[in-house]
Structure 1
Amino acid sequence: MSGLRLIPPHLLAVPRRLGLALFRLHIENGAFVSLGMGIVGGLFALAYGQTVAILAASGALCASVVDKPGPAPVKLRMYALAVSGATFVALFAMLFEHHHIWMGILVAAMSFVSSLASAYGRRAIGLSVAAVLALLFGMAANRASLMPISDYIGIFFAGGVSYALISIGLSALFDIRNRRMFLGEAVHAFSSYLEAKATLYDPACDARLALEKLVEAHAAFTEKLQAARDFVFLGRRTASRQRWMAALLALLDCFDSVVSSDADIETMRQSGHNDLLLRLKALTARFAADTEELALALTTPGAHFSFNPHTAEILELQAEVEQLAATAWGRESLAISAFRSAGHKLALGIARMERLAQATDTSADANTILPKVELEAFVHRDRMDPRVLQSLFSLSSPVMRYAIRVTGAMTAGYMLTLLLPNMMHGGWVLLTTSLIMRASYSITRQRRNDRIIGTAAGSIIAAVLVHYISRDFLFLPVIFSVGAAHAFADVAFKVTATCASITALLQLHFLGPDVEPSSVLVLERLGDTMIGAALSWVFSFVLPSWEWKNVPNLVRAVVDADKSYAALALSRRRNDQDFRLARKRAHDAAANLTMTVRRLADEPRIDKTKLAALHDLVAANYLMASDLASMRVLFRTRKQELNPDDAERVLDLARQNVEQALNPAEAKDKGPTRLSRRSLGESIGGHNAMVSLTRRLIHIERMAGRVSALAAKVLKA
């Protein structure tokens, strides 16, 4: 399967594990953050000395918070907002520290504005963290009285700008590497999807639970796929960039073929042909392993990938299906047809993996495999349009309610520090509150627990470092910890909380070593964290925006996207660009609903019956998407066998029926709609193209009715 397999297993295991663990996008992002911080600190130390370098590192640290992999224009915009905003916050924090009313106004205004900025997407959330860090560093620098305020602010700003310029330069230098990494992350997610798919073929597993895990893996892959699109599809089309564009499109086509093989999973699991199910499981598991190996080859220097068509396994599967068909006495059952179809689609997906491997070959001509589509239409644009904010000024807006909650929690935290000045460190309480509070109750709850554990661990580590390492060398753990905090922010927040605590505490120690005695550091910071966590928890119930209230909108979005996708999927003549966009919107809408349903279980007083109905809906919607994907496979592989007039007649009728079925407002509460039998294609199998088409269309109509009925049930709950 790969050149790596020529190496003895005992020598191969360690490099593979290291490659899978270390050569990941988030790890490399953290490494580049550490590198940028090290360069800024080193340059300022060489030019102006250690004190100036420490102050410049404070500005660089605030800028680094928004350093996420992405297109250069997006990064420039975020750096401009982060550096300018953090500089102003640091300035006012130093000016207002002894003016409690003005400082309270600053905290409230900073919290409100930065929370509203979350309306512009996940990247903008980092702006609030940068602002609170600037507040914390400004207060500490003021107490340390290292230099006049104007000098500190100038150095702080210079450090932030220097980091931004270095980061942009590194991004340009490693542009091709970053494209490989984004593609590699998408391939990793596809491998996880295939592993979940293999489990569904296991006759011994719980089908409902396995399908639920598969749908979640599909949502995770959809998210990674969009992140890859947002980076790979942008930029001037050089030969090397076109190769990665073609590779990403090849991955999507491979996924489309594979997802279509689930269209008849219910029939196959109920057939009793466990041997065939186990063959499908084994083939899919090997396919998943190959996909992981391709991801490894994309991201790990020196690793290579060789395509394996799995010819023997596919032929054995097909032979067993034909053997069963031979005993059917001319009346092939639906189960046999389903197994034949699933095996064919899996084989087609494996074959498309060869196209993906070819696209990653440096000697390949991307123009020969790059479809003629407008790729930028598939990119999500993060536009800072001021008109977005105008729509938020209403208590019905979840973003406005979130901004009010954060502002209340931050203001309350500041007031507590005024009431108990000798017991609390205001900046740390505010930082904890800012890091924990999110618009989602589920995420806030998880981050609360992780932050407490991470702060305890980070405080202990920081105290040990301060005690045993000379102040002249403490910058080394700071450089490492800031990179690690970035690397695991979206992967393991507990690690991020630990490393962020180490970074902030050591940076504060630099600014004022006498202010932070290590003997009491652990207990004080843990106490501050507990107070910040408590504030975050209490204010989560102030004007809450429970996610279940947004479920009806997400359900309607799924059904609307399904309608558009079905209309084009059930057409033989269609514009490829329009079809791909409709398919993308359908998968995106389904992924949004799936991830929301996953978080709903953590919300208080959630209706378990409604939650079960939502799980049924996302599962049924996934199976209908598999059905619709099957149409593209059928049109491509059996186009010549179809009678154009007969095919168009049944397709027209199916489009009308599906459009009518996908109307939750008219669906009945009795359960899935059962469409009437209109041909023998429903009751018999067979390999005739028209029979296969008719049977598939009837199945799609029924799945559309099931989705519609479940959507109506959720909307009425």
Structure 2
Amino acid sequence: MKVLIDFYKSIHLSNGLRMTFSIVTPLTIGLLFGDIYAGTSVALGALCVGLSDSPGTWSEKAKGLIGGAFIYPLTAIGMAFMINWPWLGALFLTIISFVAALLSIFGNRSTLIGNSILISISLGIAFGATIPVLLESALWMLGGGLWYSILSLVLWQIRPYASIEKVLGECYELMGQYLQFKAILFINPSKKEIEKKVFSLQTKIDHKQEEVRNLLLRQRSALQGATPHGRSLILLMRISIDIFERASATHISYNDLHHSFKGTSLPKQLSDLFIDLGKNLTEIGSTIKSRDKIEDLPSYKKAFDKLQFTFEKLRDNKDRTLPISQFAEVKNIIRNFNRIDRYSREAASFTDWNNIKEKSYTDGLKLPSFITKSDQGTFADNLNLQSAHFRHAIRVCVAMLIGYLCSLFLGLDRGYWVWLSISVIMKPSFSITKQRMIARTIGTTLGIIIASALVYITENTYLYLLFLVPLGILTFGTLTKNYRVGMTFLTPFILLIIATSTQFETNLALYRVADTALGGLIAFAVSFLLFPEFEVKNIKGKLIAATRANCTYFTEVSIGYTGQHNVDPNNYRLARKAAQLANANLAMSFQNMLNDPKNRQLTTSDLYEFIAASRMIFAHTATLSANVERLSKKYKFPDLMPFITTVQAQFEHIILGINKNKIIVKEISFNDLLSEFNQELETLEIDREKEIKEGIKESLLIKTLSDYVLITNQLKRLGKNINYLENCTAALVSNTK
């Protein structure tokens, strides 16, 4: 039920409604006026343009949609004309496929336009028709493309932030899940599957936050604070990043915590409270997606008070054996919980635009600098085999050509269905192509069963139009989220469109399954044999990128503690963003690699351990980062520089080892570089123990001790994980020779 409610409130439903309305309306008009051929051509024009629609500014959308509206009829009718001469058709198909696939150089919108070009030449529109009929079909397709473009742009003006709200809401919901899964580690630290789930959610959140940044910060009205709505979304985006940093900063040695407080209620109370905080984030996310406002977020003051009471009772127990530094660390966790709660309440208040009239949404940050710039290079830069885009374009055009030749030599009826399958299955990565091949074959088979059942029930064309409405909504509402489910509904949707103008035959539907399977096999074989893009090729670069980004992030944050210069929020936040993305991209690459052939994979256990260590380093740096602005004003630690330079050198040593596929393990005693911190910490512990014995519950010493424990423990754990990262690297490179 929750899934249905979420779908009802999501932008997926509105996307499905928009696409379905734009396609079914011309079909209905065509049927009513006795010209279903024209209605079908308009619908297919709307379909092609709709599939290339993507979030962005009004001007970006307008250029992409209207440009596509003119391009798709030309490519579709050009293919229909050239097919009268088979070898000319083969040449035309090869050239257009190559160019369409190469458009991925220019980003996501261009990639979608390229995909729609491939679909337009594969739909079989007016194949074998006379020139007057071809021109008429082209005009009807153009009309359909413009019809969808106008509809989409008008709706965008009504809700310009709809796509951003959807992604931002999903981001908060994912953070809610992240907190709730991470809470389990307080009571069950050895549960490896929970740790893997936490890492997986981190990757998803990192990518969602990046998507929100790029969508929102490209909206000029939002960036300039021109509307309360835009300002509220920027504030919600910024606070989501701060909450996630705080959530990452709660990372401690869960095994030590569990062992130290085993038999007490403290771990369970920490877990329950973290779960509750996660529920609040989930509610905020759901509210953002539904464009509502939160009147009153659930309060957990009693739970906080109970936790504080338990903590103080354990800390002040005269018979306790645990060092006071253990309690100082728990104190820091509770403090983080309080901050997450405070940030969540602030985020909840921002769902009401009236609460942000006087609120600064930049705080001096240079927001445009947080937009990720494309590093794909120019068109000319990619016209060589060193370019992944160029190799992908070659694979696509070769696969499309093979599909075309198979349809000729096998004498397939409507053989263009083979190319259509290739055009939607073929992706740059072999693993994704493999997944799509399986999903499309299964989805097409299930879809044909659905279509056959509907046609068996009735042959009434008007009822087909009624069936198209739920099928279209389900197709375009799920296609980007779950490809297999989307394909299951897309197949009957397309077949019923065809059935409105021609007689539907079950045998013909079965041929479509065979055509789909043939197209999938061709796509799979070409992806495997021709310049195969196995993920292992990209892993090395991503290992280096994650290591370097972690090093830069640590440097930006740690220098703030030395007092050498003032903390620049813009710089360390940019470094944080880069480290988040680098780690997320590495984790995503690992997941894709698991779908490649076994002999084309790195040792998965070694790679996973590397990713886990890299994530830990990020988490400990995030803890320092979350407190740097506060603590750098209170303390100056110039003696920290040897530790920082040693960490930097160790990171560079790891990067060099990855590059050379050889590394000499030289574990550094980072703890020795923190001797002054350790001595000061011991003194503070002794002084605080004296205070407790004297019955002093609150003092300035508590905060100082808590701060020293936070800084010292994070630096120690960071050093330990860097050494572990070096060992993981050694194991990884030794197994790749």
Under a length normalisation based on structure 1, what TM-score does the superposition of the two structures give? 0.89
Q: Is the 8 A contact 1:452 1:526 kept in 2?
A: yes
Q: Is the 8 A contact 1:413 1:429 kept in 2?
A: yes
Which of 133, 139, 142 matches 1:157?
A: 142
Give SS of 1:546's match: coil
Deviation at 1:29, TM superposition (A): 2.1
Q: Is the 8 A contact 2:297 2:348 kept in 1?
A: yes
Deviation at 1:214, TM superposition (A): 0.9
Corresponding letter in the other structure for 1:28: S
Q: CA 1:178–1:521 in structure 2 vs 1: closer, same or farther (change >3 Å)? A: same
Corresponding letter in the other structure for 2:331: R
Which of 362, 367, 372 matches 1:375?
A: 367
Q: CA 1:301–1:49 in structure 2 vs 1: closer, same or farther (change >3 Å)? A: farther
Q: Tell me the equivalent position of 1:564.
A: 552
1:17-96 paired onto structure 2 within 5 Å: 18-38=4-24, 50-96=36-82
Q: Tell me the equivalent position of 2:392.
A: 402
Larger RCO (alpha carbons 8 Å, 6+ apart): 1
Corresponding letter in the other structure for 2:279: A
Structure 1 stretch displaced more, 122-131 or 529-538: 122-131
Deviation at 1:705, TM superposition (A): 3.5
Structure 1 stretch displaced more, 32-41 or 235-244: 32-41
Give SS of 2:637's match: helix
Q: Tell me the equivalent position of 1:577.
A: 570
> How many correspondences in the alignment?
691
In the TM superposition, what whole-angstrom CA distance separates every residue of 1:61-105 from its partner, at most 9, and x where no partner exists?
A: 111111233332332333245333322211212211221001111
Q: Tell me the equivalent position of 1:535.
A: 522
Q: Tell me the equivalent position of 1:428.
A: 417
Distance in 2 (CA, whole Å) between partners of 1:636 and 1:283 is 26
Distance in 2 (CA, whole Å) between partners of 1:25 and 1:340 is 41
Distance in 2 (CA, whole Å) between partners of 1:710 and 1:123 is 38
Q: Tell me the equivalent position of 2:356.
A: 365
Distance in 2 (CA, whole Å) between partners of 1:557 and 1:266 is 30
Q: Tell me the equivalent position of 1:706.
A: 724
Distance in 1 (CA, whole Å) between partners of 2:438 and 2:413 is 20
Q: CA 1:401–1:592 in structure 2 vs 1: closer, same or farther (change >3 Å)? A: same
Corresponding letter in the other structure for 2:397: T
Distance in 2 (CA, whole Å) between partners of 1:303 and 1:578 is 33
Q: Tell me the equivalent position of 2:675.
A: 679
Corresponding letter in the other structure for 1:346: F
Distance in 1 (CA, whole Å) between partners of 2:629 and 2:388 is 45
Q: Is the 8 A contact 1:29 1:69 kept in 2?
A: no
Distance in 1 (CA, whole Å) between partners of 2:621 and 2:364 is 22
Corresponding letter in the other structure for 1:219: T
Unaligned runs of 5+ in 1: 1-13
In the TM superposition, what whole-angstrom CA distance separates every residue of 1:387-418 from its partner, at most 9, and x where no partner exists?
A: 53322223233222222222222111111111
Deviation at 1:153, TM superposition (A): 0.7
Q: Is the 8 A contact 2:277 2:340 kept in 1?
A: no
In the TM superposition, what whole-angstrom CA distance separates every residue of 1:671-695 from its partner, at most 9, and x where no partner exists?
A: 8644233337558695513454334
Distance in 1 (CA, whole Å) between partners of 2:595 and 2:482 is 18
Q: Tell me the equivalent position of 2:489.
A: 499
Unaligned runs of 5+ in 2: 561-565, 658-662, 686-701
Q: Tell me the equivalent position of 2:644.
A: 655
Q: Is the 8 A contact 1:307 1:354 kept in 2?
A: yes
Q: Tell me the equivalent position of 2:247.
A: 258
Give SS of 2:279's match: helix
In the TM superposition, what whole-angstrom CA distance separates every residue of 1:606-658 from its partner, at most 9, and x where no partner exists?
A: 47773212211221122222211212333355566x3x4xx231443333232
Which of 444, 447, 465 matches 1:475?
A: 465
Q: Tell me the equivalent position of 1:9.
A: none
Which of 438, 455, 465 matches 1:449?
A: 438
Q: CA RMSD in A?
A: 2.9
Q: Is the 8 A contact 1:276 1:339 kept in 2?
A: no
* % identical aligned pairs: 20
In the TM superposition, what whole-angstrom CA distance separates every residue of 1:303-326 from its partner, at most 9, and x where no partner exists?
A: 745223422222333333333333
Corresponding letter in the other structure for 1:559: T
Q: Tell me the equivalent position of 1:629.
A: 622
In the TM superposition, what whole-angstrom CA distance separates every residue of 1:560-611 from its partner, at most 9, and x where no partner exists?
A: 2112211211133222122211111110111000111112112112477732
Q: CA 1:469–1:298 in structure 2 vs 1: closer, same or farther (change >3 Å)? A: farther
Q: Tell me the equivalent position of 2:210.
A: 226
Q: Tell me the equivalent position of 1:588.
A: 581
Query: Is residue 355 from structure 1 mapped to residue 346 from structure 2 by the alignment?
Result: yes
Q: Tell me the equivalent position of 1:8.
A: none
Q: Is the 8 A contact 2:22 2:43 kept in 1?
A: no
Corresponding letter in the other structure for 2:365: V
Deviation at 1:546, TM superposition (A): 1.0
1:58-207 paired onto structure 2 within 5 Å: 58-137=44-123, 139-142=124-127, 148-203=133-188, 205-206=190-191
Corresponding letter in the other structure for 1:675: F
Q: Is the 8 A contact 1:215 1:618 kept in 2?
A: no
Q: Is the 8 A contact 2:73 2:138 kept in 1?
A: yes
Deviation at 1:266, TM superposition (A): 5.1
Q: Tell me the equivalent position of 2:689.
A: none
Give SS of 1:396's match: coil
In the TM superposition, what whole-angstrom CA distance separates every residue of 1:259-306 from its partner, at most 9, and x where no partner exists?
A: 100144454355463643322221221122221122222223667452
Q: CA 1:63–1:124 in structure 2 vs 1: closer, same or farther (change >3 Å)? A: same
Structure 1 stretch displaced more, 257-266 or 537-546: 257-266
Which of 313, 322, 328 matches 1:337?
A: 328
Distance in 2 (CA, whole Å) between partners of 1:319 and 1:690 is 23
Deviation at 1:243, TM superposition (A): 1.3
Query: Is residue 235 from structure 1 mapped to residue 235 from structure 2 by the alignment?
Result: no
Distance in 1 (CA, whole Å) between partners of 2:305 and 2:116 is 58
Distance in 2 (CA, whole Å) between partners of 1:222 and 1:665 is 23
Under a length normalisation based on structure 2, what TM-score does the superposition of the two structures give? 0.86
Q: Tell me the equivalent position of 1:282.
A: 272
In the TM superposition, what whole-angstrom CA distance separates every residue of 1:213-255 from its partner, at most 9, and x where no partner exists?
A: 2111011011111222222222213222111111111111111
In the TM superposition, what whole-angstrom CA distance separates every residue of 1:507-546 from its partner, at most 9, and x where no partner exists?
A: 3334x515xx423133111111111111122112122111
Which of 316, 320, 338 matches 2:306?
A: 316
Which of 608, 612, 620 matches 2:605?
A: 612
In the TM superposition, what whole-angstrom CA distance separates every residue of 1:176-205 from its partner, at most 9, and x where no partner exists?
A: 444432321221221222233123333165
